[in-house]
Structure 1
Amino acid sequence: MRTISRRRMVKLSMLGSMAGAFGFSSSFGKVLAIMSTPSETEGPFYPVNDQRDKDADLTQVDGHTGIAQGQHIIVSGQVTDIAGNPIDKVLLDIWQADANGRYRHPRDPNTAKLDENFQGWAVIRSDSSGLFRFKTVIPGAYPASSNWIRPPHIHFKISKQGYRALTTQMYFPNEALNKTDLLLRNKSAAEQSVMIAKKANQQGNLPIYEYNIVLDLLHK
Protein backbone atom coordinates (compact mmCIF):
# COMPACT_ATOMS: atom_id res chain seq x y z
CA MET A 1 0.00 0.00 0.00
CA ARG A 2 1.38 3.36 -1.03
CA THR A 3 0.82 5.05 2.33
CA ILE A 4 3.01 2.67 4.33
CA SER A 5 6.78 2.87 3.93
CA ARG A 6 8.87 -0.16 2.97
CA ARG A 7 10.55 -0.06 6.39
CA ARG A 8 7.16 -0.03 8.14
CA MET A 9 5.91 -2.92 5.99
CA VAL A 10 8.95 -4.98 6.91
CA LYS A 11 8.44 -4.15 10.59
CA LEU A 12 4.76 -5.09 10.50
CA SER A 13 5.55 -8.32 8.69
CA MET A 14 8.11 -9.28 11.35
CA LEU A 15 5.73 -8.41 14.18
CA GLY A 16 2.94 -10.33 12.51
CA SER A 17 5.15 -13.40 12.27
CA MET A 18 6.02 -13.06 15.95
CA ALA A 19 2.33 -12.78 16.84
CA GLY A 20 1.58 -16.01 14.98
CA ALA A 21 4.54 -17.82 16.52
CA PHE A 22 3.59 -16.88 20.07
CA GLY A 23 -0.16 -17.36 19.62
CA PHE A 24 -1.33 -13.79 20.20
CA SER A 25 -5.02 -13.08 19.73
CA SER A 26 -6.48 -11.91 16.43
CA SER A 27 -6.98 -8.43 17.92
CA PHE A 28 -3.20 -8.06 18.08
CA GLY A 29 -3.05 -8.65 14.36
CA LYS A 30 -5.76 -6.06 13.75
CA VAL A 31 -3.77 -3.45 15.65
CA LEU A 32 -0.70 -4.20 13.57
CA ALA A 33 -2.67 -3.84 10.35
CA ILE A 34 -3.82 -0.22 10.88
CA MET A 35 -3.20 1.81 7.73
CA SER A 36 -2.20 5.45 7.88
CA THR A 37 -4.85 7.69 6.34
CA PRO A 38 -4.05 8.32 2.65
CA SER A 39 -3.13 11.84 1.62
CA GLU A 40 -5.05 13.78 -0.98
CA THR A 41 -4.74 17.08 -2.80
CA GLU A 42 -5.68 20.24 -0.92
CA GLY A 43 -7.70 21.46 -3.87
CA PRO A 44 -8.02 25.08 -5.00
CA PHE A 45 -10.50 26.31 -2.38
CA TYR A 46 -8.65 26.34 0.92
CA PRO A 47 -9.93 29.47 2.71
CA VAL A 48 -7.95 32.61 1.93
CA ASN A 49 -10.01 35.16 3.87
CA ASP A 50 -9.73 34.76 7.63
CA GLN A 51 -12.93 34.69 9.64
CA ARG A 52 -13.70 35.06 13.33
CA ASP A 53 -16.03 32.07 13.59
CA LYS A 54 -14.17 28.78 13.06
CA ASP A 55 -15.72 26.69 15.81
CA ALA A 56 -17.01 23.11 15.69
CA ASP A 57 -20.55 24.07 14.60
CA LEU A 58 -20.47 24.92 10.89
CA THR A 59 -24.26 25.10 10.66
CA GLN A 60 -24.43 28.51 12.32
CA VAL A 61 -22.39 31.64 11.80
CA ASP A 62 -21.73 33.91 14.77
CA GLY A 63 -23.97 36.96 14.48
CA HIS A 64 -26.42 35.35 12.03
CA THR A 65 -29.95 34.39 13.03
CA GLY A 66 -30.41 31.81 10.25
CA ILE A 67 -29.01 28.28 10.03
CA ALA A 68 -27.28 26.49 7.18
CA GLN A 69 -29.30 24.85 4.42
CA GLY A 70 -29.15 21.11 3.77
CA GLN A 71 -28.90 17.94 5.82
CA HIS A 72 -27.27 18.70 9.16
CA ILE A 73 -24.94 15.94 10.39
CA ILE A 74 -22.35 15.13 13.03
CA VAL A 75 -18.87 13.97 12.02
CA SER A 76 -16.93 12.27 14.80
CA GLY A 77 -13.81 10.18 15.03
CA GLN A 78 -10.50 9.54 16.70
CA VAL A 79 -6.95 10.39 15.72
CA THR A 80 -4.47 7.58 16.42
CA ASP A 81 -1.01 6.47 15.39
CA ILE A 82 -0.43 3.38 13.27
CA ALA A 83 -0.29 1.19 16.40
CA GLY A 84 -3.75 2.40 17.48
CA ASN A 85 -2.58 4.73 20.26
CA PRO A 86 -4.72 7.89 20.56
CA ILE A 87 -3.03 11.20 19.76
CA ASP A 88 -4.19 14.11 21.88
CA LYS A 89 -4.47 17.79 20.97
CA VAL A 90 -4.17 17.25 17.22
CA LEU A 91 -5.01 20.33 15.14
CA LEU A 92 -7.74 19.69 12.57
CA ASP A 93 -8.28 22.31 9.89
CA ILE A 94 -11.58 21.52 8.14
CA TRP A 95 -13.24 23.14 5.12
CA GLN A 96 -15.94 22.17 2.63
CA ALA A 97 -18.59 23.30 0.18
CA ASP A 98 -22.06 24.17 1.42
CA ALA A 99 -25.17 22.13 0.59
CA ASN A 100 -25.32 23.86 -2.81
CA GLY A 101 -21.80 22.76 -3.69
CA ARG A 102 -20.36 26.24 -3.25
CA TYR A 103 -17.19 27.10 -1.32
CA ARG A 104 -16.78 30.30 0.68
CA HIS A 105 -13.88 31.23 -1.59
CA PRO A 106 -13.59 34.27 -3.89
CA ARG A 107 -12.35 32.18 -6.84
CA ASP A 108 -14.94 29.42 -6.74
CA PRO A 109 -16.44 29.49 -10.28
CA ASN A 110 -19.56 27.57 -9.26
CA THR A 111 -22.66 29.63 -10.11
CA ALA A 112 -24.68 28.01 -7.28
CA LYS A 113 -25.90 30.43 -4.63
CA LEU A 114 -23.59 30.77 -1.62
CA ASP A 115 -25.24 29.87 1.69
CA GLU A 116 -24.37 32.87 3.86
CA ASN A 117 -25.45 30.95 6.98
CA PHE A 118 -22.91 28.18 6.46
CA GLN A 119 -19.58 28.67 8.23
CA GLY A 120 -17.57 26.65 5.69
CA TRP A 121 -14.40 26.39 7.78
CA ALA A 122 -13.51 25.08 11.23
CA VAL A 123 -10.27 24.77 13.18
CA ILE A 124 -10.56 22.42 16.15
CA ARG A 125 -8.41 20.07 18.25
CA SER A 126 -8.82 16.48 19.31
CA ASP A 127 -9.27 15.91 23.04
CA SER A 128 -6.99 14.02 25.44
CA SER A 129 -8.21 10.71 23.96
CA GLY A 130 -7.71 11.81 20.35
CA LEU A 131 -11.46 12.25 19.86
CA PHE A 132 -12.95 15.00 17.71
CA ARG A 133 -16.47 15.97 16.73
CA PHE A 134 -18.09 18.70 14.67
CA LYS A 135 -21.50 19.61 13.30
CA THR A 136 -21.87 20.43 9.62
CA VAL A 137 -23.97 19.70 6.53
CA ILE A 138 -23.54 17.12 3.80
CA PRO A 139 -21.74 19.16 1.12
CA GLY A 140 -23.24 19.36 -2.34
CA ALA A 141 -21.61 17.84 -5.40
CA TYR A 142 -20.13 20.37 -7.83
CA PRO A 143 -18.51 20.47 -11.30
CA ALA A 144 -14.71 20.34 -11.23
CA SER A 145 -14.63 20.42 -15.05
CA SER A 146 -17.01 19.94 -17.97
CA ASN A 147 -16.87 16.15 -17.58
CA TRP A 148 -16.09 15.69 -13.88
CA ILE A 149 -18.52 16.14 -11.00
CA ARG A 150 -16.94 15.89 -7.58
CA PRO A 151 -18.86 13.83 -5.01
CA PRO A 152 -19.67 15.23 -1.58
CA HIS A 153 -16.46 15.45 0.46
CA ILE A 154 -14.85 17.29 3.35
CA HIS A 155 -11.24 18.53 3.35
CA PHE A 156 -8.91 18.03 6.32
CA LYS A 157 -5.45 19.27 7.23
CA ILE A 158 -4.19 17.46 10.32
CA SER A 159 -1.05 18.35 12.22
CA LYS A 160 0.69 17.47 15.48
CA GLN A 161 4.33 17.92 16.45
CA GLY A 162 6.25 14.69 15.94
CA TYR A 163 3.86 13.36 13.25
CA ARG A 164 3.73 13.77 9.49
CA ALA A 165 1.32 16.54 8.52
CA LEU A 166 -1.59 15.13 6.55
CA THR A 167 -3.92 16.70 4.00
CA THR A 168 -6.78 14.45 2.97
CA GLN A 169 -10.45 14.29 2.00
CA MET A 170 -13.33 12.45 3.66
CA TYR A 171 -16.02 10.96 1.43
CA PHE A 172 -19.56 9.77 2.18
CA PRO A 173 -20.85 6.20 1.83
CA ASN A 174 -23.28 5.10 -0.89
CA GLU A 175 -22.60 8.09 -3.13
CA ALA A 176 -22.88 7.16 -6.82
CA LEU A 177 -20.35 9.85 -7.78
CA ASN A 178 -17.67 8.13 -5.66
CA LYS A 179 -17.29 5.52 -8.40
CA THR A 180 -16.45 8.08 -11.09
CA ASP A 181 -14.43 10.57 -9.05
CA LEU A 182 -10.99 11.01 -10.63
CA LEU A 183 -9.30 11.38 -7.26
CA LEU A 184 -11.02 8.66 -5.25
CA ARG A 185 -10.90 6.01 -7.96
CA ASN A 186 -7.12 6.55 -8.19
CA LYS A 187 -6.85 5.02 -4.70
CA SER A 188 -6.66 1.31 -3.95
CA ALA A 189 -9.74 -0.43 -2.54
CA ALA A 190 -8.10 -0.48 0.89
CA GLU A 191 -7.34 3.24 0.73
CA GLN A 192 -10.86 4.05 -0.39
CA SER A 193 -12.30 2.08 2.53
CA VAL A 194 -10.56 4.31 5.08
CA MET A 195 -11.31 7.55 3.22
CA ILE A 196 -15.07 6.88 3.11
CA ALA A 197 -16.81 7.63 6.41
CA LYS A 198 -19.02 5.04 8.09
CA LYS A 199 -22.65 5.76 8.95
CA ALA A 200 -23.17 5.41 12.70
CA ASN A 201 -26.13 5.85 15.03
CA GLN A 202 -28.14 9.05 14.97
CA GLN A 203 -28.15 11.75 17.63
CA GLY A 204 -31.80 12.74 17.68
CA ASN A 205 -32.51 13.68 14.06
CA LEU A 206 -28.82 14.18 13.25
CA PRO A 207 -27.06 11.39 11.32
CA ILE A 208 -23.57 10.64 12.64
CA TYR A 209 -20.68 9.78 10.33
CA GLU A 210 -17.60 8.16 11.83
CA TYR A 211 -14.26 9.10 10.30
CA ASN A 212 -11.08 7.95 12.01
CA ILE A 213 -7.65 9.35 11.16
CA VAL A 214 -4.32 7.55 11.47
CA LEU A 215 -1.07 9.55 11.45
CA ASP A 216 2.47 8.42 10.74
CA LEU A 217 5.40 9.40 12.93
CA LEU A 218 7.59 12.09 11.44
CA HIS A 219 10.71 9.94 11.82
CA LYS A 220 10.43 6.20 11.27
Structure 2
Amino acid sequence: MIRSRGRGVACRSQRLTGGNVMETVGLSRRQVLGIAVGAGGLAFPGRFEAAFAQGLKPTPGEILGPFYPVIKTVEQGADLTVVPGKPGRAAGQIIHMMGRVLNVQGDPIKGARVELWQANTHGRYTHPSDKNPAPLDPNFEGFAVQNSDAEGRYRFKTIKPGAYPTNTPNWVRPPHLHFEVTGKVNRLITQMYFPGETLNDKDLLLQNLRNNRDGAIAKVRPPTADVEPESRIVVWDIVLDKG
Protein backbone atom coordinates (compact mmCIF):
# COMPACT_ATOMS: atom_id res chain seq x y z
CA MET A 1 0.00 0.00 0.00
CA ILE A 2 1.39 3.39 -0.92
CA ARG A 3 0.65 6.86 0.29
CA SER A 4 -1.68 9.20 -1.50
CA ARG A 5 -0.27 12.26 -3.10
CA GLY A 6 -1.14 15.49 -1.34
CA ARG A 7 -2.83 18.49 -2.84
CA GLY A 8 -1.06 21.14 -0.85
CA VAL A 9 -1.28 24.70 -2.08
CA ALA A 10 1.85 25.95 -3.78
CA CYS A 11 3.25 28.75 -1.67
CA ARG A 12 6.10 31.08 -2.26
CA SER A 13 7.09 34.10 -0.26
CA GLN A 14 4.03 35.98 0.95
CA ARG A 15 3.79 39.42 2.48
CA LEU A 16 2.22 39.57 5.90
CA THR A 17 0.33 42.49 7.40
CA GLY A 18 -0.98 42.29 10.94
CA GLY A 19 -0.14 38.61 11.02
CA ASN A 20 -2.33 37.72 8.04
CA VAL A 21 -1.27 36.67 4.58
CA MET A 22 -2.23 39.58 2.37
CA GLU A 23 -0.57 39.19 -1.00
CA THR A 24 2.01 37.20 -2.88
CA VAL A 25 5.36 38.90 -3.24
CA GLY A 26 7.16 38.45 -6.55
CA LEU A 27 10.46 36.72 -6.02
CA SER A 28 13.57 38.55 -7.21
CA ARG A 29 16.10 36.27 -8.88
CA ARG A 30 19.70 37.10 -8.14
CA GLN A 31 22.93 35.17 -8.06
CA VAL A 32 23.22 32.90 -5.02
CA LEU A 33 26.52 33.06 -3.18
CA GLY A 34 27.87 30.84 -0.44
CA ILE A 35 26.39 29.78 2.79
CA ALA A 36 27.53 31.13 6.12
CA VAL A 37 26.46 28.92 8.96
CA GLY A 38 27.68 26.46 11.49
CA ALA A 39 28.14 25.50 15.07
CA GLY A 40 31.01 24.33 17.17
CA GLY A 41 33.87 24.51 14.69
CA LEU A 42 31.76 26.38 12.08
CA ALA A 43 31.58 30.16 12.21
CA PHE A 44 28.48 32.32 11.76
CA PRO A 45 29.55 35.71 10.34
CA GLY A 46 27.32 38.60 11.32
CA ARG A 47 26.23 39.34 7.75
CA PHE A 48 27.46 39.18 4.20
CA GLU A 49 29.67 41.97 2.94
CA ALA A 50 28.14 44.53 0.60
CA ALA A 51 29.62 42.79 -2.43
CA PHE A 52 27.62 39.66 -1.59
CA ALA A 53 24.41 41.51 -0.76
CA GLN A 54 23.50 41.70 -4.45
CA GLY A 55 23.67 37.95 -4.88
CA LEU A 56 21.05 36.21 -2.70
CA LYS A 57 18.06 34.57 -4.30
CA PRO A 58 14.94 33.81 -2.27
CA THR A 59 14.60 30.18 -1.32
CA PRO A 60 12.07 28.62 -3.71
CA GLY A 61 8.63 27.81 -2.34
CA GLU A 62 6.97 24.40 -2.56
CA ILE A 63 3.69 22.77 -1.63
CA LEU A 64 2.67 22.30 1.99
CA GLY A 65 2.06 18.60 1.37
CA PRO A 66 -0.58 16.39 2.99
CA PHE A 67 1.24 15.60 6.23
CA TYR A 68 1.55 18.92 8.03
CA PRO A 69 1.15 17.98 11.72
CA VAL A 70 -2.40 18.07 13.05
CA ILE A 71 -1.30 17.29 16.61
CA LYS A 72 1.57 19.27 18.12
CA THR A 73 2.94 19.08 21.62
CA VAL A 74 2.71 22.33 23.56
CA GLU A 75 6.46 22.57 24.18
CA GLN A 76 8.63 22.04 21.14
CA GLY A 77 12.38 21.86 21.57
CA ALA A 78 15.03 21.62 18.90
CA ASP A 79 15.80 17.91 19.43
CA LEU A 80 13.56 15.62 17.39
CA THR A 81 15.56 12.49 18.22
CA VAL A 82 13.88 12.05 21.61
CA VAL A 83 10.27 12.16 22.78
CA PRO A 84 9.63 13.53 26.29
CA GLY A 85 8.73 10.73 28.68
CA LYS A 86 10.19 7.97 26.50
CA PRO A 87 13.61 6.42 27.16
CA GLY A 88 14.61 5.58 23.59
CA ARG A 89 16.13 7.54 20.73
CA ALA A 90 14.82 7.85 17.20
CA ALA A 91 16.15 5.31 14.73
CA GLY A 92 18.30 6.52 11.87
CA GLN A 93 21.21 8.75 10.94
CA ILE A 94 21.48 11.73 13.29
CA ILE A 95 21.80 15.08 11.55
CA HIS A 96 22.34 18.53 13.00
CA MET A 97 20.23 20.79 10.79
CA MET A 98 21.38 24.40 10.95
CA GLY A 99 21.47 27.63 9.05
CA ARG A 100 20.34 31.23 9.06
CA VAL A 101 17.21 33.06 8.00
CA LEU A 102 18.22 36.01 5.81
CA ASN A 103 16.70 38.52 3.43
CA VAL A 104 17.98 39.00 -0.13
CA GLN A 105 20.35 41.71 1.10
CA GLY A 106 22.02 39.22 3.40
CA ASP A 107 20.64 40.72 6.61
CA PRO A 108 19.79 38.21 9.36
CA ILE A 109 16.13 37.93 10.32
CA LYS A 110 15.76 37.87 14.09
CA GLY A 111 12.77 36.09 15.61
CA ALA A 112 11.63 34.28 12.46
CA ARG A 113 9.45 31.31 13.33
CA VAL A 114 10.97 28.16 11.82
CA GLU A 115 8.78 25.04 11.75
CA LEU A 116 10.16 21.70 10.59
CA TRP A 117 8.29 18.46 9.91
CA GLN A 118 9.42 15.26 8.23
CA ALA A 119 9.12 11.52 7.74
CA ASN A 120 11.03 9.12 9.96
CA THR A 121 14.01 7.06 8.84
CA HIS A 122 11.62 4.51 7.27
CA GLY A 123 9.86 7.17 5.18
CA ARG A 124 6.67 7.43 7.24
CA TYR A 125 5.10 10.51 8.80
CA THR A 126 3.49 10.59 12.24
CA HIS A 127 0.20 11.64 10.68
CA PRO A 128 -3.17 9.85 10.57
CA SER A 129 -3.46 10.33 6.80
CA ASP A 130 -0.18 8.61 6.02
CA LYS A 131 -1.08 5.09 4.90
CA ASN A 132 2.46 4.07 4.05
CA PRO A 133 2.97 0.53 5.45
CA ALA A 134 6.47 1.48 6.61
CA PRO A 135 6.77 1.35 10.42
CA LEU A 136 6.22 4.25 12.76
CA ASP A 137 8.97 5.09 15.23
CA PRO A 138 7.66 5.46 18.81
CA ASN A 139 10.67 7.64 19.62
CA PHE A 140 10.11 10.09 16.79
CA GLU A 141 7.29 12.61 16.32
CA GLY A 142 8.77 14.45 13.37
CA PHE A 143 7.90 18.04 14.23
CA ALA A 144 9.66 20.94 15.94
CA VAL A 145 9.59 24.73 15.96
CA GLN A 146 11.89 27.47 17.16
CA ASN A 147 12.64 31.14 16.56
CA SER A 148 15.82 32.38 14.90
CA ASP A 149 18.25 34.27 17.13
CA ALA A 150 19.67 37.78 16.72
CA GLU A 151 21.95 36.57 13.92
CA GLY A 152 19.12 34.75 12.17
CA ARG A 153 20.42 31.34 13.27
CA TYR A 154 18.31 28.23 13.76
CA ARG A 155 19.32 24.68 14.65
CA PHE A 156 17.57 21.31 15.00
CA LYS A 157 18.84 17.88 15.94
CA THR A 158 16.94 15.26 13.99
CA ILE A 159 17.41 12.21 11.77
CA LYS A 160 17.74 11.94 8.01
CA PRO A 161 14.30 10.95 6.69
CA GLY A 162 13.77 7.99 4.41
CA ALA A 163 12.43 8.03 0.86
CA TYR A 164 8.83 6.97 0.27
CA PRO A 165 6.51 6.08 -2.64
CA THR A 166 3.63 8.19 -3.93
CA ASN A 167 0.52 7.08 -5.79
CA THR A 168 2.05 8.34 -9.04
CA PRO A 169 3.66 5.43 -10.91
CA ASN A 170 7.44 5.33 -10.64
CA TRP A 171 7.61 8.37 -8.36
CA VAL A 172 9.45 7.85 -5.11
CA ARG A 173 10.11 10.98 -3.12
CA PRO A 174 13.74 11.54 -2.11
CA PRO A 175 14.68 12.29 1.49
CA HIS A 176 13.56 15.83 2.31
CA LEU A 177 12.52 18.11 5.17
CA HIS A 178 9.50 20.42 5.18
CA PHE A 179 9.80 23.98 6.47
CA GLU A 180 7.42 26.82 7.17
CA VAL A 181 9.24 30.06 7.94
CA THR A 182 7.44 33.20 9.05
CA GLY A 183 9.43 36.43 9.19
CA LYS A 184 8.36 40.00 9.83
CA VAL A 185 7.16 40.50 6.25
CA ASN A 186 7.26 37.16 4.45
CA ARG A 187 6.02 33.62 4.96
CA LEU A 188 7.65 30.75 3.10
CA ILE A 189 6.57 27.13 2.78
CA THR A 190 9.28 25.00 1.23
CA GLN A 191 11.17 21.71 1.23
CA MET A 192 14.87 21.03 1.69
CA TYR A 193 16.73 18.24 -0.09
CA PHE A 194 19.99 16.40 0.51
CA PRO A 195 22.79 16.56 -2.07
CA GLY A 196 23.83 13.54 -4.09
CA GLU A 197 20.55 11.63 -3.75
CA THR A 198 19.77 9.56 -6.87
CA LEU A 199 16.05 10.24 -6.46
CA ASN A 200 16.61 14.01 -6.65
CA ASP A 201 16.97 13.81 -10.43
CA LYS A 202 13.60 12.07 -10.75
CA ASP A 203 11.60 14.01 -8.20
CA LEU A 204 8.70 15.83 -9.85
CA LEU A 205 8.60 18.61 -7.26
CA LEU A 206 12.31 19.34 -7.14
CA GLN A 207 12.70 19.16 -10.91
CA ASN A 208 9.72 21.48 -11.32
CA LEU A 209 11.63 24.30 -9.62
CA ARG A 210 12.60 26.58 -12.47
CA ASN A 211 14.36 29.25 -10.41
CA ASN A 212 17.08 28.66 -7.84
CA ARG A 213 16.73 24.89 -7.67
CA ASP A 214 20.14 24.78 -6.03
CA GLY A 215 18.70 26.91 -3.23
CA ALA A 216 16.53 23.96 -2.18
CA ILE A 217 19.52 21.64 -1.71
CA ALA A 218 21.54 21.72 1.51
CA LYS A 219 25.23 21.13 2.11
CA VAL A 220 26.34 18.16 4.21
CA ARG A 221 29.50 18.40 6.29
CA PRO A 222 31.38 16.02 8.59
CA PRO A 223 30.66 16.17 12.32
CA THR A 224 32.50 18.64 14.52
CA ALA A 225 34.08 17.64 17.83
CA ASP A 226 31.04 18.67 19.87
CA VAL A 227 28.51 16.34 18.19
CA GLU A 228 28.09 12.60 17.76
CA PRO A 229 30.96 11.17 15.68
CA GLU A 230 28.54 9.23 13.47
CA SER A 231 26.29 12.24 12.85
CA ARG A 232 26.38 14.75 10.00
CA ILE A 233 25.99 18.52 9.90
CA VAL A 234 23.46 19.74 7.35
CA VAL A 235 23.78 23.40 6.43
CA TRP A 236 21.01 25.36 4.74
CA ASP A 237 20.31 29.09 4.75
CA ILE A 238 16.71 30.17 4.20
CA VAL A 239 16.38 33.39 2.20
CA LEU A 240 13.17 35.41 2.38
CA ASP A 241 12.48 38.25 -0.03
CA LYS A 242 12.03 41.11 2.45
CA GLY A 243 12.48 39.20 5.67
Name the TM tier (shorter chain): 0.7 to 0.9
Structure 2 CA distance for aligned equivalents of residues 93 and 213 of structure 1: 12
Cα RMSD over matched residues? 2.1
**Is the deviation greater in 200-209 or in 92-101?**
200-209
1:159-170 aligned at under 5 Å gives the runs: 159-161=182-184, 163-170=185-192
CA contact (8 A) 1:37 1:215 kept: yes
**Shift in Å, 1:29:** 4.2
Task: Say yes or no: does 1:157 pair with 2:157.
Answer: no
Structure 2 CA distance for aligned equivalents of residues 198 and 168 of structure 1: 16
Correspondent of 1:202 among 223, 234, 243: 223
SS at match of 1:165: strand
Higher relative contact order (CA 8 A, sep 6+): 2
Structure 2 CA distance for aligned equivalents of residues 53 and 197 of structure 1: 27
Partner of 2:117: 95
Structure 2 CA distance for aligned equivalents of residues 192 and 68 of structure 1: 30
Partner of 1:23: none
Correspondent of 1:121 among 129, 143, 161: 143
Partner of 1:211: 236
- Structure 2: which amino acid aligns with 1:211? W
Correspondent of 1:191 among 212, 216, 224: 212
1:9-158 aligned at under 5 Å gives the runs: 28-145=50-167, 146-158=169-181
- Structure 2 residue runs of 5 or longer lacking an equivalent are 1-11, 14-24, 31-48
Partner of 1:21: none
TM (norm. structure 1) is 0.84
Partner of 2:19: none
Per-residue CA deviations over 1:102-144 (Å, capped at 9, x if unaligned) read 0000010100010010121001111111001110000000011
Structure 2 CA distance for aligned equivalents of residues 76 and 213 of structure 1: 10
- Structure 2: which amino acid aligns with 1:60? V
Structure 2 CA distance for aligned equivalents of residues 46 and 159 of structure 1: 15
- Structure 1 residue runs of 5 or longer lacking an equivalent are 13-26
**Shift in Å, 1:199:** 1.2
- Structure 2: which amino acid aligns with 1:102? R
Structure 2 CA distance for aligned equivalents of residues 143 and 52 of structure 1: 31
Question: Which structure dedicates a bigger proportion of its chain to helix?
Answer: 1
* Percentage identity across paired residues of the two chains: 44
How many residue pairs were aligned? 199
CA contact (8 A) 2:52 2:106 kept: no
**Shift in Å, 1:210:** 0.2
**Shift in Å, 1:54:** 2.4
CA contact (8 A) 2:72 2:143 kept: no
Per-residue CA deviations over 1:31-52 (Å, capped at 9, x if unaligned) read 2020011100010000012324
TM (norm. structure 2) is 0.76
CA contact (8 A) 1:53 1:61 kept: no
Structure 2 CA distance for aligned equivalents of residues 201 and 54 of structure 1: 27
Partner of 1:176: 198
